[in-house]
Amino acid sequence: MRYSPGRPSWIGREKEPELTATIHEWETLSTEDGTELSVFVARPAAQGDHNTGVIVLQEIWGVNAHIRDVCDRFARLGYTAVAPDLFHRTAPRFDAPYDDRSGREHAMKLTPESVRADLAATHAFLYARLEPGSDDPRIAACGFCMGGRLAFVANAMFPLACAVSFYGGGLASHLELAAEQHGPFLLFWGGKDTLITKADRRAVADALEEAGKRFTEVNVGHASHGFFCDARPSYDKEAAREAWGLVTAFLATNLDE
């Protein structure tokens, strides 16, 4: 089943709310540790300057159909979206169904150094892709579960315009990065998420508040972990549609200005 993006309401945005055609391609990048990183790219097919982009960060199931679909949805809104294959050192182009948990093994083999190398290569690639159209390319990050945590890391590494985290697993283990966040942060939690405790959610919000950072926290009380993904049993159609509307408004406010 494909996730239908609908047509979100755009307030104060001049361009069309949704483009009709996108282009998809895989690119290979060199990282600072000497490995080769594949990235999935979705971009608007329409001609013109596209100077805004989104780094899309995967779950443990790889750059799978869901992550590629999210990239496509961003491209339909006029952004260039790039999803790095974070498991490329142990399982290149890993793409698993949601009943396959083998991605945990690859996630456990990630190191802070390898993650930062991949994020740096992805950010540099996207910046270079956008730069010809503008003197000031603007980039955001959006991640899911493991990727939600890595969006927090990316927003600390780079001067991102903003970042979005969906049910960021392990995000509370990186509270030292709260003071280093650059752009505003949008966090989504599921109230019935058994993988992320209320204490962890509270710790993240407290750390951002204490650091004086601009952030918005959305607790979807009736939803579970993974509620945004239509390929998972925990998918909640209404919650996903509402969340997407908030994401598009958040990007319109912080990425398009």
Q: Which residues are catalytic?
A: 145, 193, 225
The alpha carbon torsion through 175, 218, 73, 120 (nearest 10 deg) reads: -10
**What is the number of alpha carbons within 13 Å of residue 53 lying toward its C-beta?**
28
Question: 79: closest CA among 155, 22, 3, 161?
Answer: 22
Using a 10 angstrom Cβ sphere, with 0-12 exposed, 13-18 middle and 19 or more buried, the burial of residue 189 is buried
- Tell me if 196 sits within 8 A of 226, measured CB to CB: no
For the beta sheet containing 138-144, the strands, ordered from the edge strand earlier in sequence to the opposite edge, are: 22-30, 36-44, 80-84, 52-57, 138-144, 162-166, 185-190, 215-220
- Cβ atoms within 10 A of the Cβ of 2, count? 9
